[in-house]
Amino acid sequence: MWALGYPEAGLAGTEEALSEAREAGLAGALMQAMSLTCLTQLISGNYAIAQAQSDELIGLAEEKGSAFWKIAGMHRRAAVLALTGKASDAVGIFTAAIPAWRSKGSRIFLPVWLSLLARAYGELGQFDDAWSYIGEAISVVETRKETWCEADVYRIAGEIALMSPEPDAAKAEACFERALAVARAQQAKSWELRAAMSMARLWRDQGKQDQARDLLAPVYGWFTEGFDTPDLKQAKALLDEMAVGR
């Protein structure tokens, strides 16, 4: 539901599943529900909640002796760090957790973790590593057909292109265009909104303010709920900023 443009409904659904798992009292079901709820909170931008849930997941996994769910929790903890300005700490956890995840024979969500690791390396100025990991994320999407996050993987690739000492605006725009195309094909409005914001910021900075607003406004206008979520708040703020500058 989140990706389709209903963030409140998506969050409510995962929280209900988590509540039911708590009531059932089965550790395996609870850890699975907790991992999915934490991921939804994470991609919704609710980082404090995601951090608390990742900590709880790791603690429960340690208590039950589940290496699999502990690694899952470590990925979520690293993702929160990557998205809250703690790139070095995120790299330290991801570079241990990702090989451990593979050693368990699991590949699910790997494009998410690889792309966030790439972003963290970009913020640290280590662009060879950043491009290596974002390239691997794209490869995993293509080979494993885990396409639900494909649009955001390309959006992050575009953001990395703009981080470098010599920003590559053409490469960034191509990545954002791919992200938009994928999101539209999947009717994934939440991913489309993020990609539209990234493109709109790029065009705004290039002096294409009207073009930026014309791209973002109809995507934002499609939404009927979730206006208190971080993505929609940021989109509204960006549109208001560009309206003032017209």
**Contact by Cβ (8 Å): 108, 89:** no
CA–CA gap between residue 55 and residue 132 (Å, rounded)? 29
**Contact by Cβ (8 Å): 112, 134:** no
Q: Is the dihedral of CA 237, 111, 130, 99 positive or negative?
A: positive
Domains and their CATH numbers in the chain: 1-106 (1.25.40)
Mean pLDDT by 10 residues, the chain (246 residues): 88 93 93 95 95 97 96 98 98 97 89 98 98 97 94 98 95 98 97 98 96 98 95 97 78
pTM of this structure: 0.94
CA–CA gap between residue 197 and residue 202 (Å, rounded)? 9
DSSP per-residue string spanning 58-119: HHHHHHHT-HHHHHHHHHHHHHHHHHTT-HHHHHHHHHHHHHHHHHTT--TTHHHHHHHHHH
Question: What's residue 246's pLDDT?
Answer: 59
